[in-house]
């Protein structure tokens, strides 16, 4: 998993509330167990019409936000089913941080496991960040995980809370497998001792 330290990039405004995981990645795209390729279908039913043509007024189809790495969204982002494909699609599209007033618990945890930083802020702060994101490609927002701050293109600063363990994992680029591999020497030592103590196993 890629490390998340400081991210400076274009932010896309998506003020809709209750964006659920089926809106993020519709059910027909859940057949794969690969984490790559899903970005093409992120927000599929909002991005494309039934003929597969882009819907021009959808934010991620606008030139100013096609390269967005930060998403500023409405309340209760990621609600609905627990599909892990939702953060996979967000990450594959290129978005590394989602900012909202609140997140569904399972989606929130899945983000950290897939290298995405979900940031919950008060409504007043999200309103400011939403307006900043509306400025387009010339307005770049900065997310500093180490110092737990979001900085607007005008330099306005907002602090956010994050679980210390989850922060450590993102800073070090550790998913569940990476955390296990950190203990590889201890695991090898245990296996060697177990093999001697119980050779019949």
Token pair belonging to 190: 């245990």
Mean of pLDDT values over 6-19: 97
Predicted confidence (pLDDT) at residue 150 exceeds the cutoff of 70: yes
Domain tally, the chain: 1
Nearest in space to 155 (alpha carbons), one of 121, 129, 175, 177: 129
Does residue 200 form part of some domain? no
Domain that holds residue 52: 6-174
Does residue 185 form part of some domain? no
Tens digits of residue pLDDT in 52-90: 999 999 999 999 999 999 999 999 999 998 899 999 999
Nearest in space to 15 (alpha carbons), one of 142, 143, 154, 128: 128
Nearest in space to 128 (alpha carbons), one of 118, 139, 138: 139
Residue with tokens 């994992």: 169
Does residue 126 form part of some domain? yes
The per-residue pLDDT of the chain, averaged, comes to: 92
Does residue 199 form part of some domain? no
Cα–Cα distance between 21 and 92 in angstroms, integer?
15
User: Sign of torsion, CA 180 70 42 105?
Assistant: positive
Nearest in space to 117 (alpha carbons), one of 136, 144, 83, 79: 144
Overall pTM > 0.85: yes
Question: The CATH number of the domain where 20 resides is what?
Answer: 3.20.19.10
Q: How many CB atoms lie within 10 A of CB 97?
A: 23
146 neighbors 140 (Cβ within 8 angstroms): no
């Amino acid at each position: 998993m890629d490390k998340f330290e400081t991210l400076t990039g274009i932010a896309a405004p998506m003020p809709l509330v209750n964006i659920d995981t089926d809106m993020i990645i519709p059910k027909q795209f859940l057949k794969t167990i690969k984490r790559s390729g899903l970005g093409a279908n992120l927000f599929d039913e909002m991005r494309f019409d039934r003929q597969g043509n882009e819907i021009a007024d959808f934010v991620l189809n606008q030139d100013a936000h096609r390269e967005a790495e930060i998403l500023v969204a409405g309340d209760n982002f990621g609600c609905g089913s627990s599909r892990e494909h939702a953060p996979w699609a967000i990450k594959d599209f290129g978005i590394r941080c989602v900012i909202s007033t609140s997140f569904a618990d399972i989606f929130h945890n899945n983000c950290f496991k897939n290298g995405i930083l979900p940031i919950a802020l008060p409504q007043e702060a999200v309103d400011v960040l939403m307006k900043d994101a509306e400025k387009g490609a010339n307005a770049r927002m900065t997310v500093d995980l180490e110092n737990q701050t979001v900085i607007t293109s005008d330099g306005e600063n907002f602090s956010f809370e994050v679980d210390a363990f989850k922060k450590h994992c993102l800073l070090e680029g550790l998913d569940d497998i990476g955390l296990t591999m950190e203990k590889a020497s201890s695991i090898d030592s245990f296996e060697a001792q177990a093999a001697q103590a119980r050779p019949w196993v």
